[in-house]
């Protein structure tokens, strides 16, 4: 007996050395190892009193879990996670019994017998590790391991993470105090369930359910013996047995699996024959892609927009940090505005005119007037990081705040903002001016930005494009023909700043987040935009002047089942009758304007083409009272370096691309399909008492009498619409070519 005590005392000395030189550590280890050493009579109870080992409550924040996205009908279309959010927690009865047996056998075989601190197991492991010259067995109980993982999971900074795993006596004491509290709070089964759900198994899989699916493509309830042993072996050092990292790592995992099988046989949990047969099995690693990325969704651009909305919208947290924390913790079920019918209509129309392999890319957003609900977001390129497959890794449909790029210059889709400003200031449908084929500002002060700066450029000539020369144009004919010189003259009349303010009231802001360029040519659309923003602005006209911020989330449900609804954010920004008058004018674009070649959609609709100077981008934006949409096309490699001239798109050659050529037709066919089965809603008729006719001094001049016998044969005349238009007359931020969407601006020479 004396010799045995001497041997144990010697072992304690070695254990003390292993744990560190601290006297307090020695006391703790000695107490854990022996009820009484050398007759000192120091009991475990005395030691726990000395070291203040009393239960201390453990704060257990919710485990990070995936966030699930549902469409408007409640069907899932995407899920994503951040950091440790690749997790799906399950109840213990959803885990195969053999998995529970395997993890307990290898990590803490006396789990159901001891309390928070396994005195016998800790000492035995320490002595074995000393005699073996390294760490062979772990001394921490499953409860202690759970505590450590919770503390690590709760850490918000790198320093806190390091402290949670630091090999210090104070950290170990703190862990033990929490373990005592956990054992008082939960049953053994509850602790095991929490441990299995929090543990990391490698290959990006957190929790037993996700690990089972990632490793073996099956739920945890279906695991067999050798699969369970594999996952049980993985938790000890998941970074070194991560099967996704290569053959050497898989070999280590296989060795570790066999260690678990041997241990299970040693403890009598399985027979040696069962262990030997299981060890003959291959690893069985299936490498199932970890779920959670928007690239896996059928609607990746919509998914990206939602993801970034959760990060930018204060409804999901007052600060960016709070919102990030909400997403990292996950477990949310988000109901969105996605309409699969509209989405498929958009995708079908885009595919009809633009190939995924084309360098120019088409993008479309559909927004509901009166609510701002985004029904669809689609693009011709596939989302992803494979450049060889012509994939693109950012949101082509949204702005930079929603994962998008720099957008494309909007061209003549900006002209309606000047039109609305003129109507608001009292101009009538047939008020107009005589303009030439070129326009020069009469003075530098003829155009002033909203800070009062003179930004006119008398030396810069803005020219018309295919709409030809000058003549008398009215609000109606100037809009239908998209006449550049008329709109510069109109903007001069109503005021640049007033036009900018009108655009902002309708939600217009640059795609890249920079301030709008308040330049002379603002009305011609030199600012880079994204389809969601433009569609939202046009939806406000359709809604008779009610602007609603584009929205994608209607409800969020947290992990506890608490539902939070989100209502549209709307505001009346425009007189209803002014919006009606604009809709009346813009509806003529399909019959007398720049879309007349392709026609309308069989129901009341209005819109505007947008072709930038030099054909760097082409747009069509339009609306019905029920749905608004905007379509852009441009080359993300750099719109000025790669204009839409002499290009092959969708298998067809184009010498040049107007707003109506591709974008207009995508808009047309997508809207027809998206609105199929929806009863047509008429526009509110224009108040002709207010807007009919023309004002004194702004009416068209009377034509000179024709010489007797003269017949012009039906010449179109000065008010006839052109078959194309020129949108970008702006000059600002030179050299910004080839941003995320390649729409940057350089000095231009108008035609």
pLDDT tens-digit map of 609-645: 999 888 999 999 999 999 999 999 999 988 889 999 9
> How far apart, in whole angstroms, are the C-alpha atoms of residue 266 and residue 272?
8
Q: Decide if pLDDT at 19 tops 90.
A: no
> How far apart, in whole angstroms, are the C-alpha atoms of residue 96 and residue 92?
8
Tens of pLDDT, residues 68-115: 999 999 999 998 766 555 678 899 999 999 999 999 999 999 999 987
> How far apart, in whole angstroms, are the C-alpha atoms of residue 457 and residue 130?
85
Q: Decide if pLDDT at 6 tops 50.
A: no
**The most confident of 314-323, 368-377, 560-569, by mean pLDDT:** 368-377
The predicted model gives 650-674 an average pLDDT of 96
Q: Decide if pLDDT at 468 tops 90.
A: no
With vertex at residue 236, the alpha carbon angle to CA 232 and CA 238, rounded to the nearest 5 degrees, is 90
Dihedral sign of CA atoms 64, 69, 74, 75 in order: negative
Tens of pLDDT, residues 452-465: 999 999 999 998 87
pLDDT over 90 for what percent of the chain? 65
Lowest mean pLDDT among 73-77, 551-555, 591-595, 701-705: 701-705
DSSP notation for 564-576: EE----EEE-S-H
Q: Name the percent of the chain in helix, strand, coil, to the closest 5.
A: 40, 15, 45
Helix or strand (DSSP H, E) at 672: helix 665-674
Closest CA to 524 of 581, 439, 450: 439
pLDDT the model gives residue 726: 44
Q: Any idea which residue has 């009166």 for tokens?
A: 370
pLDDT the model gives residue 464: 86
Lowest mean pLDDT among 304-318, 353-367, 623-637, 715-729: 715-729
- Dihedral pair phi/psi, residue 375, rounded to 5°: -90, -30
pLDDT the model gives residue 606: 98
Helix or strand (DSSP H, E) at 374: strand 374-379
Lowest mean pLDDT among 116-125, 400-409, 685-694: 116-125
Lowest mean pLDDT among 166-170, 228-232, 307-311: 166-170
- For the chain, domains (ranges, CATH) are 2-50 (no CATH), 87-279 (1.10.3810.10), 408-552+568-691 (3.40.710.10)
Q: How confident is the model at residue 140 (pLDDT cuts 50, 70, 90)?
A: confident
Closest CA to 566 of 303, 329, 309, 304: 309
Closest CA to 294 of 73, 83, 68: 68
Structure token digits, residue 584: 């009346």
Q: How confident is the model at residue 49 (pLDDT cuts 50, 70, 90)?
A: low
Lowest mean pLDDT among 32-36, 188-192, 199-203: 32-36
Q: Decide if pLDDT at 271 tops 60.
A: yes
Note every long-range contact of 246-250, with CB atoms under 8 Å and residues 24 or more positions apart, other chains counting: 250/283, 250/285
Lowest mean pLDDT among 152-156, 424-428, 597-601: 152-156
Q: Decide if pLDDT at 13 tops 60.
A: no
Structure token digits, residue 272: 């040696």
Cβ-based neighbour number of residue 695 at 10 Å:
12
Contact 139, 122 (CB under 8 A): yes
> How far apart, in whole angstroms, are the C-alpha atoms of residue 750 and residue 747?
10
Tens of pLDDT, residues 490-544: 999 999 999 999 999 999 999 999 999 999 999 999 999 999 999 999 999 999 9
Helix or strand (DSSP H, E) at 76: strand 76-80
Rounded to 10 degrees, what is the CA torsion of 149, 152, 153, 156? 170
CA-to-CA dists, residue 371 to 44, 316, 399, angstroms? 68, 20, 19
- Round the average pLDDT of the chain to a whole number and report it: 85
Q: Are β-strands 528-529 and 408-409 bridged in parallel, bridged antiparallel, or unpaired?
A: antiparallel
Q: How confident is the model at residue 713 (pLDDT cuts 50, 70, 90)?
A: very low
**The most confident of 7-21, 299-313, 563-577, by mean pLDDT:** 563-577
Q: Decide if pLDDT at 12 tops 80.
A: no
pLDDT the model gives residue 560: 82
Cβ-based neighbour number of residue 154 at 10 Å:
14
Q: Decide if pLDDT at 407 tops 80.
A: yes
**Residues in Cβ contact with 711 at an 8 Å cutoff, skipping those fewer than 6 apart:** none
**702 or 36: whose pLDDT is higher?**
702
**357 or 639: whose pLDDT is higher?**
357
Q: Decide if pLDDT at 734 tops 70.
A: no
**24 or 419: whose pLDDT is higher?**
419
């Amino acid at each position: 007996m004396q010799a045995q005590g001497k041997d144990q005392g010697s072992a304690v000395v070695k254990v003390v050395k292993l744990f560190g030189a601290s006297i307090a550590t020695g006391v703790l280890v000695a107490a854990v190892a022996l009820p009484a050493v050398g007759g000192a009579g120091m009991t475990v109870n005395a030691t726990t009193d000395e070291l203040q080992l009393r239960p201390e409550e453990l704060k257990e924040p919710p485990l990070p879990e995936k966030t699930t996205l549902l469409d408007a009908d409640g069907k899932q279309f995407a899920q994503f996670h951040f950091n440790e959010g690749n997790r799906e927690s399950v109840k213990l009865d959803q885990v195969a019994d053999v998995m529970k047996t395997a993890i307990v056998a290898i990590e803490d075989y006396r789990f159901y017998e001891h309390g928070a601190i396994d005195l016998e197991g800790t000492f035995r492991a320490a002595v074995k590790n000393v005699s073996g010259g390294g760490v062979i067995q772990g001394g921490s109980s499953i409860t202690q391991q759970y505590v450590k993982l919770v503390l690590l999971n709760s850490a918000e900074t790198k320093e806190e993470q390091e402290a949670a795993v630091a090999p210090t006596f104070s950290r170990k004491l703190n862990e033990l105090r929490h373990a005592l509290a956990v054992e008082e709070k939960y049953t053994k089964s509850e602790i095991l369930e929490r441990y299995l759900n929090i543990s990391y198994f490698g290959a990006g899989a957190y929790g037993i359910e996700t690990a089972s699916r990632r490793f073996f493509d099956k739920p945890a309830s279906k695991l067999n013996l050798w699969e369970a042993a594999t996952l049980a072996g993985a938790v000890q050092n998941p970074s070194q047995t991560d099967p996704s990292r290569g053959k050497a790592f898989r070999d280590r995992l296989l060795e570790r699996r066999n260690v678990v099988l041997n241990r299970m046989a040693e403890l009598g949990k399985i027979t040696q024959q069962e262990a030997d047969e299981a060890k003959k099995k291959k690893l069985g690693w299936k490498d199932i892609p970890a779920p959670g990325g928007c690239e896996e969704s059928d609607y990746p651009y919509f998914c990206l927009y939602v993801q970034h909305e959760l990060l930018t919208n204060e409804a999901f947290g007052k600060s960016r940090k709070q919102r990030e924390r909400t997403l990292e913790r996950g477990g949310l079920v988000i109901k969105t505005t996605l309409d699969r019918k509209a989405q498929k209509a958009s995708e079908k129309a885009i595919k009809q005119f633009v190939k995924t392999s084309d360098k120019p890319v088409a993008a479309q957003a559909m927004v509901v007037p009166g609510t701002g609900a985004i029904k669809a977001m689609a693009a011709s390129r596939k989302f992803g990081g494979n450049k060889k497959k012509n994939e693109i890794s950012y949101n082509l449909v949204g702005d930079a705040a929603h994962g998008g790029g720099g957008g494309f210059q909007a061209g003549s889709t900006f002209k309606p903002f000047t039109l609305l400003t003129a109507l608001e200031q009292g101009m009538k449908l047939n008020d107009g001016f005589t303009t030439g084929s070129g326009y020069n500002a009469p003075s530098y002060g003829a155009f002033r930005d909203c800070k009062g700066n003179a930004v006119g450029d008398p030396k810069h000539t803005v020219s018309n494009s295919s709409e030809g020369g000058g003549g008398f144009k009215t609000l109606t004919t100037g809009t239908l023909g998209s006449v550049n010189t008329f709109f510069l003259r109109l903007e001069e009349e109503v005021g640049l700043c007033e036009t900018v303010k009108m655009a902002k009231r309708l939600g217009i802001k640059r795609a890249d987040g920079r301030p709008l360029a308040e330049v002379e040519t603002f009305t011609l659309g030199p600012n880079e935009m994204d389809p969601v923003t433009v569609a939202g602005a046009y939806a406000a006209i359709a809604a008779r002047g009610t602007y609603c911020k584009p929205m994608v989330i209607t409800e969020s449900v947290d992990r506890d089942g608490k539902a939070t609804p989100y209502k549209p954010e709307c505001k009346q920004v425009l007189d209803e009758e002014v919006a009606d008058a604009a809709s009346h004018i813009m509806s003529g674009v399909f019959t007398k304007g720049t879309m007349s070649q392709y026609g309308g959609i069989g129901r009341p609709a209005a819109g505007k083409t947008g072709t930038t100077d030099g054909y760097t981008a082409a747009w069509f934006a339009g609306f019905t009272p029920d749905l608004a949409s905007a379509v852009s096309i441009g080359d993300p490699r750099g719109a000025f370096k790669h204009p839409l001239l002499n290009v092959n798109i969708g298998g067809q050659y184009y010498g040049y691309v107007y707003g109506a050529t591709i974008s207009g037709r995508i808009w047309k066919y997508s809207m027809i399909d998206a609105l199929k089965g929806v009863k047509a809603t008429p526009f509110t008729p224009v108040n002709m008492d207010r807007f009919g006719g023309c004002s004194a001094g702004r009416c068209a001049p009377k034509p000179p009498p024709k010489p007797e016998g003269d017949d012009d044969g039906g010449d179109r005349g000065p008010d006839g619409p052109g078959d194309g238009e020129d949108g970008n007359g702006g000059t600002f931020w030179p050299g910004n070519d080839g941003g995320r969407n390649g729409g940057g601006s350089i000095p231009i020479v108008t035609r």
